[in-house]
């Protein structure tokens, strides 16, 4: 699989297709057993994927044992078995719901060291701010992240759900290697504002939910019976209307002899190429056959005609990309305190 430098030559080299591990322990159905998770991640590595994505916020109670399942811990266990030098680890700090303190200073440093422990490593390859802290100037947050780079705890810095203004201000303090942002056939708002600033500053883009939380595949036949049921596009009438739009993409995939999910991923790489940004999606899965299929999507060619056809497939998508509380910490809504003038 092709390798991509997120953030250019001083950034982080990762596989062109990454993998999100969140759903192994939480939010999209029941957690899978540890040994299955380790095998899944191992198979991903054997398929050429080396870039794995988790977060401090991905913590949930086991439905039966009630113990706390930290998603970072299962990735750490898998990496310990597979070999640290075969993977790049991406994890994120805080997030509105997980933010127990400010996104800067000692609190952030302690959180980073706790993540290192859960991940069983001494360096995080890509450390992201999960959601922008409205009360802490981004310069201060990135200043702390830069300290973590100097300490060797972190190699590169990323942001998630950051506005173009926040991205530029952050990049002026320390190079931002990538921005993690929802991007898929049916979520394309970032193309008009975040993509241009990333292109200008040489920042890579890591699309999250590149398969629309599973909707952009052949498998989701009914609204998901888990955290996804709160997402407006996957609810009731909206789900039915969006299914009609998806059918066109599914028919194109059948004609090309690939899966719908593969076409959705292949579109992202091609669209990134067209817009002049490096794109490394991180599809999440709990199944070996799906991770193998997602990795093979790097070989699905997309013509310019197909690109145009796919790009218009969800022009009439029904429903917001997230529910109200979710949207309240996304990049178009979150404000960020300005730095106090010095002196
Ligand atoms: P997120 O980034 O929020 O995890 P996503 O990557 O867009 O969302 O989609 C994840 C969902 O897509 C998961 O529910 C996953 O289901 P499985 O665990 O059953 O695989 C589903 N998914 C991932 N790859 C898939 C594939 N190749 N075919 C069908 N469904 C897939």
Q: pLDDT digit string (tens) for 205-251?
A: 999 999 999 999 988 888 888 889 999 999 999 999 999 999 999 99
**Domain assignment present for 324:** no
Indicate if the pLDDT at residue 46 is higher than 60.
Answer: yes
Which helix (H) or strand (E) segment holds residue 23: the answer is helix 22-25
> For residue 281, which atom of ligand 1 is closest to its CA?
6
> For residue 212, which atom of ligand 1 is closest to its CA?
7
Structural domain count, the chain: 1
**Domain assignment present for 99:** yes
**Domain assignment present for 310:** no
**Domain assignment present for 330:** no
- Helix ranges (H only) for 96-235 are 105-118, 138-151, 164-173, 190-201
Q: Of the listed 58, 128, 208, 331, which one is catalytic?
A: 58
**Domain assignment present for 172:** yes
Q: Whose CA is nearest to atom 12 of ligand 1?
A: 214
**Domain assignment present for 85:** yes
**Domain assignment present for 126:** yes
Domain that holds residue 291: 3-214+268-299
Pocket of ligand 1 (CB under 6 A): 20, 22-23, 28, 208-214, 217, 219, 259, 261, 283-287, 290, 293-294
Q: Give 261-309 pLDDT, tens digit per residue.
A: 999 999 999 999 999 999 999 999 999 999 999 999 999 999 999 999 9
- 233 vs 212: CA distance, rounded Å: 9
Q: Give 57-91 pLDDT, tens digit per residue.
A: 998 888 888 888 999 999 999 999 999 999 999 99
| pLDDT at 139 (0 to 100) | 96
CATH number at residue 150: 3.20.20.100
**Domain assignment present for 180:** yes
58 is catalytic: yes
Rg (CA), the chain: 19
- 181 vs 184: CA distance, rounded Å: 10
Indicate if the pLDDT at residue 127 is higher than 60.
Answer: yes
Question: Nearest-CA neighbor of 22 among 216, 226, 190?
Answer: 226
pTM of this prediction?
0.96
């Amino acid at each position: 699989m092709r390798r991509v430098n997120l953030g250019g030559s001083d950034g982080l080299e990762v596989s062109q297709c990454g993998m999100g591990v969140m759903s192994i322990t939480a939010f999209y159905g029941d957690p899978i057993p540890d040994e299955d998770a380790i095998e899944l991640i191992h198979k991903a590595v054997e398929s050429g994927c080396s870039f794995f994505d988790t977060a401090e916020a991905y913590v949930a109670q086991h439905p039966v044992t009630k113990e706390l399942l930290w998603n970072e811990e299962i990735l750490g266990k898998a990496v310990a078995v597979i070999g640290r030098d075969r993977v790049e680890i991406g994890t994120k700090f805080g997030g509105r719901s997980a933010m127990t303190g400010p996104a800067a200073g000692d609190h952030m440093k302690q959180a980073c060291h706790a993540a290192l422990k859960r991940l069983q490593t001494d360096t995080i390859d890509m450390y992201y701010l999960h959601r922008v802290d409205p009360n802490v100037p981004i310069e201060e947050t990135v200043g702390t992240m830069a300290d973590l780079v100097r300490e060797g705890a972190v190699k590169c810095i990323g942001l998630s759900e950051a506005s173009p203004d926040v991205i530029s201000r952050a990049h002026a303090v320390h190079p931002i290697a990538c921005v993690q942002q929802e991007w898929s056939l049916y979520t394309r708002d970032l193309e008009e504002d975040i993509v241009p600033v990333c292109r200008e500053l040489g920042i890579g883009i890591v699309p999250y939910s590149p398969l629309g939380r599973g909707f952009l595949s052949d498998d989701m036949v009914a609204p998901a019976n888990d955290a996804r049921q709160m997402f407006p596009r996957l609810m009731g009438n909206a789900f039915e209307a969006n299914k009609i739009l998806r059918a066109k993409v599914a028919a194109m995939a059948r004609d090309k002899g690939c899966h719908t999910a593969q076409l959705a991923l292949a579109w992202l790489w091609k669209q990134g190429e067209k817009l002049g940004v490096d794109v490394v999606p991180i599809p999440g899965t709990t199944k070996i056959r799906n991770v193998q299929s997602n990795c093979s999507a790097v070989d699905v060619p997309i013509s310019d005609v197909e690109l145009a056809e796919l790009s218009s497939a969800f022009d009439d998508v029904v429903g917001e990309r997230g529910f109200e509380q979710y949207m309240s910490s996304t990049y178009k809504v979150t404000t960020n305190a300005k730095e106090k003038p010095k002196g």
